[in-house]
Amino acid sequence: MASTSRNRTVLVAENDVDVLDRVRDVLEDAGLGVLSAGSESEARKILTVHGPTIDVALLDMRMPRTGAAGASAETRGAGLRLARDIRRRSPRIRLVGFSAFEEPETRTWFRDYGYAFIEKALLFEHPGMFVEVLRRASQTRGKKRTPQAFIVHGHDHVLLRQLVSFVKDDLRWQRPKILREQPSLGRTVIEKFEQTAQVVDVVFVLLTPDDVAAPKNAPDDVKRRARQNVVFEAGYFYAMFRRLGGRVILLHKGKVEIPSDLAGMVYIDVSRGIAHAADAIRRELAPFLGW
């Protein structure tokens, strides 16, 4: 276990020694202090002694109940159990889930009640982004966290600017993430998209009539549809958040073709601008407005 007098301190509960060493190196290089635990019981002891100085808890989802780092008897629910306990006892500590496995229910819990859920691959592939998540979490300790939105959009930049303004100025949330504004850091577009999506709470999908489409056997029946990247990204987020999660808000403008798999779902018409549809958008965001 290592301690430090630096201003921001992260409790890292991780039983894989190689991962723990890597986390410690990148966080300390970035000026963050680290307290490390290799098991659930060790993390609890550190919290008892150092709880008031801890800003963030980075919690591996699978670690042993007892034992030192490197122990093999992992318990699948250990990280989530520890997170729930910290939330009850020390609500000022920001909680970040950390896993190498697909754990949809756990991911959802950390998005609802913690700060973020990140995959271990981010640590090794893009340590700068990994550090940024932990740094931002440490800076919000004890403060009310506002949701992080992501905007999926096409070519209607006027509507995009209106939505950004609505999120920032009317809802008073963090500035929404827009893929083109994120640094590439040597990544492909899909890598940048996947990794940015990890720290998102709510997604707005702007379905605007940017492309021309028509059935093959009816070339004169011209229809308008959203950009294909918009449809793809909407599907990605539906798979990530699940359809009934209420986290994907569909906004459409004018006569735009709706993908058949999404037919029958509720869309908010923003043809007259975001301000005109503001009340309808707020109704859909009701679960998040009380954060």
Q: Are residues 260 and 154 in the same domain?
A: yes
Q: Phi-psi category of 186—alpha, beta or left, where left has phi over 0 and alpha has psi -120 to 50?
A: left
Confidence of residue 1 (pLDDT cuts 50, 70, 90): very low
Specify if 261 maps to a domain. Answer: yes
Domain end among 139, 172, 194: 139
* pLDDT (average), residues 166-185: 92
Q: Are residues 165 and 80 in the same domain?
A: no
Q: What is the pLDDT of residues 41-91, one digit of tens each?
A: 999 999 999 999 999 999 999 888 776 544 445 577 889 999 999 998 888
Domain end among 121, 139, 157: 139
Residue 201 confidence (pLDDT): 84
In sequence order, the 6+-apart residues with CB closer than 8 A to the CB of 41 are 65, 66
Specify if 1 maps to a domain. Answer: no
Q: Are residues 168 and 101 in the same domain?
A: no
DSSP line for 232-279: HHHHHHHHHH-GGGS-EEEEE-SSEEPPGGGTTS--EE-TT-TGGGHH
How far apart CA 85 and CA 45 sit, in angstroms, is 13
Specify if 144 maps to a domain. Answer: no
Instruction: Give the CA angle between residues 130, 134, 139 to the nearest 5°.
Output: 145
Q: Are residues 172 and 118 in the same domain?
A: no
* pLDDT (average), residues 224-241: 89
139, 91 Cβ separation under 8 angstroms: no
Residue 108 confidence (pLDDT): 80
* Residue 253: CATH number of its domain: 3.40.50.10140
3-state SS of 146-188? CCCEEEECCCCHHHHHHHHHHHHHHCCCCCCECHHHCCCCCCC
Q: Are residues 154 and 134 in the same domain?
A: no
User: Which structural domain range is residue 62 located in?
Assistant: 9-139
Partners of residue 218 on adjacent β-strands: none
Specify if 4 maps to a domain. Answer: no
**Single-letter amino acid, residue 274:** I
* pLDDT (average), residues 98-114: 82
Q: What are phi and psi of 237, to 5 degrees?
A: -70, -30
DSSP line for 216-243: TT-TT--EEE--HHHHHHHHHHHHHH-G
159, 254 Cβ separation under 8 angstroms: no
Q: Are residues 56 and 88 in the same domain?
A: yes
Q: Are residues 123 and 164 in the same domain?
A: no
Domain end among 120, 139, 158: 139
Number of domain units in the chain? 2
Bigger pLDDT: 30 vs 65: 30
Percent of the chain at pLDDT > 70 equals: 88
Specify if 104 maps to a domain. Answer: yes
